[in-house]
Structure formats: C-alpha cells, structure tokens
Structure 1
C-alpha cells in the first residue's frame, strides 16, 4: 500500500497514487483508442478529442458518485465535496459520465457513434487495468480475509485494518476480526471533532507502533481483489478485442452474426463487466449491504447486465451504421 506517490515540497500537497494511476490509465486508454481507431473507425482524432472531454466528465462523475454513496461524510462540511485532492472517487461513476459525454460528442460531430463505442469499450478496459492498481496502492476496494498464500496484509491505518478491528453492522458483522486495545481508538482533532476511527500512526508511541506490526494486532491477510480486478480488466480487453476483429470480418462480408454489428462490442462490455463485478463483490469486504443482501455495486452490476443485453438486442436488430469512405490524400 502506497496511497501518496510523492509529496510536493513547501506546498504541503501530495500526489495520490490512485489519482496518478487514473491519469496513467487515461493516457493508456487514449493510445489504445487511437491505435484501434486507425484500423477500425477511420478517424482517430474524433475519439481523441472526445476522450479529452470525457476525462473532465469522468473526474466529476467519479466524485459525484462517491459523494452520493458516502453522503454522511460531507453532511457537516459541504465544501469538502470539492476537496478532491484528499481522495474519494468511485470508478463506476466516472465511467458512466465519460461514456455519456462521448456519446453526446459523437452525436454533435454526426459520426457513426456505434463504431467508436466499440473501440471505446476496449480503451475503458485498458484504463481499468491501471485504475485498479491505483486502488491497490490506495488500499481501498479490499477483499475478505483469506488463508491463500497470496493474501495481502494491509498496514495499520489502512481501510482494511480499520475495518477489521471493529464490528460492521452494515455488512452483518457483529464482531471485529481481532480486538485492538482502546488506546488506539477515538482520535479527535484540535477542534474536538471526531475524525478518525483510529489514531494516526504519527500520534502513536514507539511501543504502540511496534505492537501493531506483529501478532495479535497484525491485520488479517485479505484477497487482493484490486489485483484480481486489474487482471480481469486485462482479460476483458482481450476478449473484446477478439470480438472486434470478428465484427470487422463480418462487416467486410456483410454477413452479420450475433454480436458482430456496430455497437455490439460496447454492449458486450456491459454484460461481461457486470458479471465480473458482481462476482468480485462476493469476496470484497468494503461495501455495505443495501438490499436483498446485495451491495450497491452488485445492484448496479445487475443493471449493467440488463442494459448490455438490451443494447445487444437493439443493435443486432437495427441497421448497421456505415463508416464514411476514407479521405483521399
């Protein structure tokens, strides 16, 4: 875990690893999209310009989704909504906002948007690979305890550690995974406001710091679900690329099979990602249960699968969009 990549001297500001990996993911996605656009959509500049607009929309959407999801954290201090440098982004909110902006931009430019959405789907998968690595560095999106040899122990003060030392009624966990002495709890700031479940590491005595690095106060190993998700995103991108090549051959022959018409790859992304995310939530240990014993991410995953199936049927039954003829040079 390495939530702060680097601290800027004299400014008391730090570059968050999660934010940095999001930027890296965006740049990689743009390169992937440009490469694929040259081979599948004729004009890479259109999707590149759309990607720049979607970056802004993605950040706003990711922040808005986080604020909605954890609104109680901002109720007493609404202005903290804008303190994005302190972290707090929900990836799925950013993806939804980015897709919406790209669709609107494509309509504005009057281009065959379905072809571009198919390419975009693979770019989003590439971005997700790095976004989930950012989650791992940040320590969020952690998994349940495991005895598997690749289980990861997160340090004192991390999201996983803080969760393990207290009960979590929202996840139907009535007891902590292990008991931590009361002296580690109840940190308040200079204004007397309760702002942390655990005291910051810097406020612990040397003896206290040493005690949380060994049993019985060492965090339980957990599934590295962030890395599972990163590998899953890479596999998702490869699968989508295979379907994109298949769709290109079908378009050249004008013999459209299932999931070969323009837009089908985009709809397949919703289906596969929804299934992957639903299953991943089963071994994650961070999101509270909302309804029917499911987390909000699982409920959204079900909605994504339904939306993907609807779009796949719609695109399959509709007339395929045609790309403009190549420009003469």
Structure 2
C-alpha cells in the first residue's frame, strides 16, 4: 500500500521493484541450492534464471501492450513507460527462453523445469506483494472486514475498500511452492512437478480473476488471463497424460 518505501539521496526505493528483486534473488538461491542437492548443474540453473528473467520481463511487457493495444496506439511511450506487466507473458517468454537454452546446451528441459517450478512460484509470491504495495492488480469493492483501502497515488481507486487480490494471489503462490516441494520428493516421473505447477497456477489464476476489478483485457466473456489459463491447464493435463501413456506402453 506504499510504493515509495524510502529514499537514499536521489534514489527512491519502490516497493514493487524491491519485491521483484527479492523474488528473483530467492528464486535463484533456491534453484541453485536444489540443483546441488539433485546433482544438476548449478551454473545451468543460473544461466536459465538470467535468460528467463530477461525474456520474462520482455514477454510480460509485450503482452501488456497487446492487452492495452488501443491505448498503445494513442500514446506508445505512455504505455511502455508504465509499470504495467502481464504475468502470463513473462511465464510464456521465460519458459521459451529456458527451452531454447536447454536445447542449445543439450540438457533436459523437463528436469530443470521440475527443479525450478517451486522457485518460480516463490518469485511470483514476492511479486504479488509488490503489486499490493503499488496498488495494481486490485480486486472488486467489498464490505467485508478484510477489505483494503488504498491511499491516493496508488494504481487502485483510493478511499474504497477492495478485495486484496494481490495478497490472495501471493498466498496462493507460496502455497503452490510448498505443495511442489513436497510433491517433488515423492514424484519420480520427470516433468510431473512442472506439470503440477502449470495446473495449480492455471486453476488459481482462473479463479482469482473473478475477484479482480482492474482493466486487464478480455477475450469474449473471459479476461485475457482466464483465456490463457485454460490453455495452461490443458497443457498440464496433456503432460500428465503423456507420462501415464508412457507408463503403460
């Protein structure tokens, strides 16, 4: 609820950027720690993280431009210069970057996807806290006791109690991380942990969209993210089914 946390001389530390940075650092630390534990290449994890993060920022911004395309045509620099991002654009671009890297280095993408899936979820959890501090990705108006009123200067409407969808999303992301860590200890099939991440995140994102009130684009009766969520869930189901078919062939 306070995006400008403090200043050091001319440098202002923003809550959104700080949470994104913390999420990235925790993601990389967790990934490299677990790589060593699972006898995978730590340097490959670091490379994948760097390339995927860079591609993710670009992809998240590009999808935001597509969602806000009419506004982009009117004032391109205003849209490009905002803090607006669409998470799914980042996930898709980041995964594609990881696939290309693994293909080039002759590594198993699914092994590293399984390894990094919990790290991705925890990074998203921190990112959503950043959204809460900035006031973006806000929910509908509510009379419930847990409604949050944002101050002037936030992206959210000021002075109106809103559903804290950012914190609900953050809690969901951290819960997904915990589930994936537990599941990965017992699953012996490569690709299943990554598939479970896609399944849980896709379902969670589809549901949370019903509570949001910010302008985020539509595809028919669905929000853009709900439409993409359906595709993500279908991919996850397809990954699980492929593994099951191999088991019986």
Encode CA deviations 1:71-98: one digit per residue, 9 max, x unaligned.
Answer: 2232233344553xx4122222112111
Partner of 1:120: 116
CA distance 1:8–1:67, shift in 2 (3 Å): farther
Encode CA deviations 1:132-187: one digit per residue, 9 max, x unaligned.
Answer: 0010011011111222222100123433317xxxxxxxxxxxxxxxxxxxxxxxxx
2:192 corresponds to 1:264? yes
- In 2, the alpha carbon distance for the partners of 1:282 and 1:81 equals 25
198, 205, 214: which one aligns with 1:277: 205
Pick the structure with more helix per residue. 2
Partner of 1:206: none
CA distance 1:154–1:79, shift in 2 (3 Å): closer
Counterpart contact for 1:41–1:115, Cα < 8 Å: no
- In 1, the alpha carbon distance for the partners of 2:34 and 2:221 equals 41
Q: Offset of 1:7 from its aligned partner?
A: 4.9
Aligned length in residues:
247
CA distance 1:81–1:156, shift in 2 (3 Å): closer
- In 2, the alpha carbon distance for the partners of 1:280 and 1:75 equals 29
Partner of 1:73: 71
Encode CA deviations 1:104-156: one digit per residue, 9 max, x unaligned.
Answer: 11111111221111011111001011000010011011111222222100123
Structure 2 counterpart SS, 1:107: helix
Q: Offset of 1:273 from its aligned partner?
A: 0.6
- In 2, the alpha carbon distance for the partners of 1:288 and 1:112 equals 35
Partner of 2:242: 314
- In 2, the alpha carbon distance for the partners of 1:54 and 1:290 equals 27
Structure 2 counterpart SS, 1:89: coil
Q: Offset of 1:67 from its aligned partner?
A: 1.1
Partner of 2:170: 230
Partner of 1:2: 2
Structure 2 counterpart SS, 1:237: helix
- In 2, the alpha carbon distance for the partners of 1:292 and 1:53 equals 34
Partner of 1:62: 60
Counterpart contact for 2:67–2:217, Cα < 8 Å: no
Partner of 1:183: none
CA distance 1:142–1:295, shift in 2 (3 Å): same
CA distance 1:288–1:23, shift in 2 (3 Å): closer
Higher alpha-carbon deviation: 13-22 or 114-123: 13-22
CA distance 1:133–1:104, shift in 2 (3 Å): same
- In 1, the alpha carbon distance for the partners of 2:177 and 2:223 equals 25
CA distance 1:292–1:88, shift in 2 (3 Å): closer
Matches within 5 A, 1:11-30: 14-30=12-28
CA distance 1:34–1:289, shift in 2 (3 Å): closer
Structure 1 counterpart SS, 2:214: coil
Q: Offset of 1:288 from its aligned partner?
A: 5.4
Q: TM-score, normalised by structure 2?
A: 0.90
Extract unaligned runs of 5+ from structure 2: none
Structure 2 counterpart SS, 1:306: helix
Partner of 2:223: 295
Q: Offset of 1:295 from its aligned partner?
A: 1.2
87, 94, 103: which one aligns with 2:90: 94
CA distance 1:55–1:113, shift in 2 (3 Å): same
The CA RMSD measured in Å over matched residues stands at: 2.1
